[in-house]
Structure 1
Amino acid sequence: MSASDLGLLVFVGPTGDHNDRGMAGAPIVGRELSRRLGLEPTVIGEPRPATSAPWEQALPAALPGLTELRDAHGHMLSRGHVPILAASRCAASLATLPNVAALRPDAVVVWFDAHADLNTPAGSTTGYLGGLVLSAAAGWWDSGLGSGLSPDRIVLGGTRDLDPPEQALVDEGTVKLAAGPHLMDHLDRYVGDAPVYFHLDCDVLEPGTVPTDYRVPGGLDLDDLAAVARRLGRNDVVGVEIAEFEAADPDDHTDYARPLVDALMSLWAPQSTHL
Structure 2
Amino acid sequence: MTTIYVPYHLDERLDGLVDEPADVTVIAEFPEGPDIWGRLAVLYDRVADEVSRAESPVVISGDCTTALGTVAGLQRKALDPAIVWFDAHGDVQTLETTTSGYIGGMPLRVLVGYRPELIADRLGLRPLAEERAVLVDARDLDPAEAEYLHGSGIRRYQLQDLELPDGPLLVHVDLDVVDGAELPGLLFPVPGGPSMRDVLAKVEEIIATGRVVAVDLACTWRPGSGAEARAFVQTVCKAFGKEPNNFRTQRDH
CA distance 1:240–1:259, shift in 2 (3 Å): closer
Match of 1:44 among 26, 32, 35: 26
Structure 1 position 213, deviation (Å) = 0.6
CA distance 1:194–1:256, shift in 2 (3 Å): closer
CA distance 1:261–1:245, shift in 2 (3 Å): farther
Structure 1 position 62, deviation (Å) = 2.8
Residue 65 of structure 2 aligns to a residue whose secondary structure is helix
Residue 91 of structure 1 aligns to a residue whose secondary structure is coil
Q: Which residue of 2 aligns with 1:240?
A: 215
**8 Å CA contact 1:229, 1:264 repeated in 2:** no
CA distance 1:7–1:266, shift in 2 (3 Å): closer
Q: Which residue of 2 aligns with 1:147?
A: 126
Higher helix share: 1
Give 2:17's aligned amino acid.
Answer: A
- For 1:127 and 1:100, how far apart are their aligned partners in 2? 28
CA distance 1:209–1:267, shift in 2 (3 Å): farther
Structure 1 position 88, deviation (Å) = 1.6
Q: Which residue of 1 aligns with 2:38?
A: 60
Residue 230 of structure 1 aligns to a residue whose secondary structure is helix
Structure 1 position 85, deviation (Å) = 0.8
Give 1:261's aligned amino acid.
Answer: Q
Give 1:184's aligned amino acid.
Answer: Q
CA distance 1:259–1:193, shift in 2 (3 Å): same
What is the TM-score when the length of structure 2 is the normalising length?
Answer: 0.79
Q: Report the count of equivalent residues.
A: 233
Q: Which residue of 2 aligns with 1:52?
A: none
- For 2:208 and 2:178, how far apart are their aligned partners in 1? 22
**8 Å CA contact 1:12, 1:27 repeated in 2:** no
CA distance 1:90–1:206, shift in 2 (3 Å): same
CA offsets, 1:157-193, max 9 Å, x none? Answer: 11111222322333235101111xxx333x23xx166
Q: Which residue of 1 aligns with 2:47?
A: 69
Matched, 1:184 2:160: yes
Q: Which residue of 2 aligns with 1:161?
A: 140
Same amino acid, percent of matched pairs: 22
Q: Which residue of 1 aligns with 2:10?
A: 15
Give 2:215's aligned amino acid.
Answer: V
**8 Å CA contact 1:112, 1:158 repeated in 2:** yes
**Equivalent residues in 2 for 1:114-125 (5 A)?**
114-125=88-99
**8 Å CA contact 2:17, 2:223 repeated in 1:** no
Gaps of 5+ in 2: 245-253
CA distance 1:64–1:14, shift in 2 (3 Å): farther
**8 Å CA contact 1:84, 1:240 repeated in 2:** yes
**8 Å CA contact 1:14, 1:47 repeated in 2:** no
- For 1:14 and 1:233, how far apart are their aligned partners in 2? 26
Structure 1 position 82, deviation (Å) = 1.0
Structure 1 position 217, deviation (Å) = 0.6
Matched, 1:85 2:42: no
CA offsets, 1:54-94, max 9 Å, x none? Answer: xx743233332222112111232xxxx21101112111112
Q: Which residue of 1 aligns with 2:108?
A: 134
Give 1:148's aligned amino acid.
Answer: P
Matched, 1:170 2:141: no
Q: Which residue of 2 aligns with 1:227?
A: 201
